[in-house]
C-alpha cells in the first residue's frame, strides 16, 4: 500500500535450486500466488531460466508446470504467465518461438484470455528484433538495469514500439546488471520518464 503496488512477480528459477532440482518449491509458489490474489494484486508467474540459457532445455517440464498452474487458476485475471525469463547465450528468436509455440497452447487450452509474457534474446533486451507469434494477449519482455542499460536500450524499445510490438518491463534494477556499482538515480529517472511517456 505504501508503494501503491499492484503487481508481484514470483520468479521461480528452473535451475539454481529451483523447480527442476526441487519439485517441492511448487507448493511454496502456490501459497504465494494465493496470497497475492487474496490481496487483489496481479501476480506474474515467472519460469525463470538463467544458467540453462535456452528455454528449450526444459520444454516438457515447462509444459507440465504451466498446464498445472493454468488449470488451477483457469481464467483468473490476476494471473499473468511469463514463460521464459531472459533467454541468453546464443539463444535466437527462432529458439524462443519454437518453445513458445509449444508452451502457449498449453496455457491457452485452460485459460484462453490470460496475458502471456515472452522473453527476448540477450537477457530480454532485443525487443527491436521480435519475430511476433500468432497469438492474442502476448507481450514481449524488456529488462534493464539503469547502471548498464541506457539510451541504446531505450532506442531498441522505441524501435519495438514503432513496429507495434507490445512490450512490458517485467524486471529492472537501479544498479549495474551485475548488482553492483551503487544506485544510478539519474539514469533510473530517465527510464521511468520514458516508461510513463510510452505507457498505453
Query: Catalytic amino acids?
Result: 86, 171
CA 6, 34, 77, 10 dihedral sign is positive
How far is the C-alpha of 156 from the C-alpha of 125, rounded, in Å?
8
How far is the C-alpha of 77 from the C-alpha of 42, rounded, in Å?
8
Q: Calculate the CA 12 to chain-centre distance.
A: 11
How far is the C-alpha of 105 from the C-alpha of 101, rounded, in Å?
7
Amino acid at each position: 500500500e505504501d508503494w501503491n503496488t499492484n503487481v508481484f512477480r514470483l520468479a521461480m528459477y528452473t535451475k539454481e535450486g529451483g523447480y527442476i532440482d526441487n519439485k517441492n518449491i511448487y507448493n511454496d509458489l502456490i501459497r504465494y500466488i494465493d496470497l497475492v490474489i487474496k490481496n487483489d494484486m496481479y501476480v506474474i508467474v515467472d519460469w525463470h531460466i538463467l544458467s540453462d540459457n535456452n528455454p528449450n532445455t526444459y520444454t516438457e517440464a515447462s509444459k507440465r508446470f504451466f498446464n498445472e498452474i493454468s488449470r488451477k487458476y483457469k481464467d483468473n485475471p490476476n494471473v499473468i504467465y511469463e514463460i521464459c525469463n531472459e533467454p541468453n547465450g546464443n539463444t535466437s528468436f527462432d529458439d524462443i518461438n519454437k518453445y513458445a509455440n509449444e508452451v502457449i497452447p498449453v496455457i491457452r487450452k485452460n485459460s484462453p484470455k490470460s496475458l502471456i509474457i515472452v522473453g527476448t534474446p540477450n537477457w530480454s533486451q532485443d525487443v527491436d528484433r521480435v519475430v511476433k507469434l500468432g497469438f492474442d494477449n502476448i507481450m514481449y519482455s524488456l529488462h534493464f538495469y539503469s547502471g548498464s542499460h541506457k539510451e541504446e536500450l531505450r532506442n531498441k524499445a522505441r524501435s519495438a514500439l514503432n513496429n507495434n510490438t507490445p512490450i512490458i518491463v517485467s524486471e529492472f534494477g537501479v544498479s549495474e546488471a551485475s548488482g553492483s556499482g551503487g544506485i544510478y538515480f539519474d539514469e533510473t529517472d530517465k527510464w521511468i520518464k520514458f516508461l510513463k511517456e510510452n505507457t498505453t
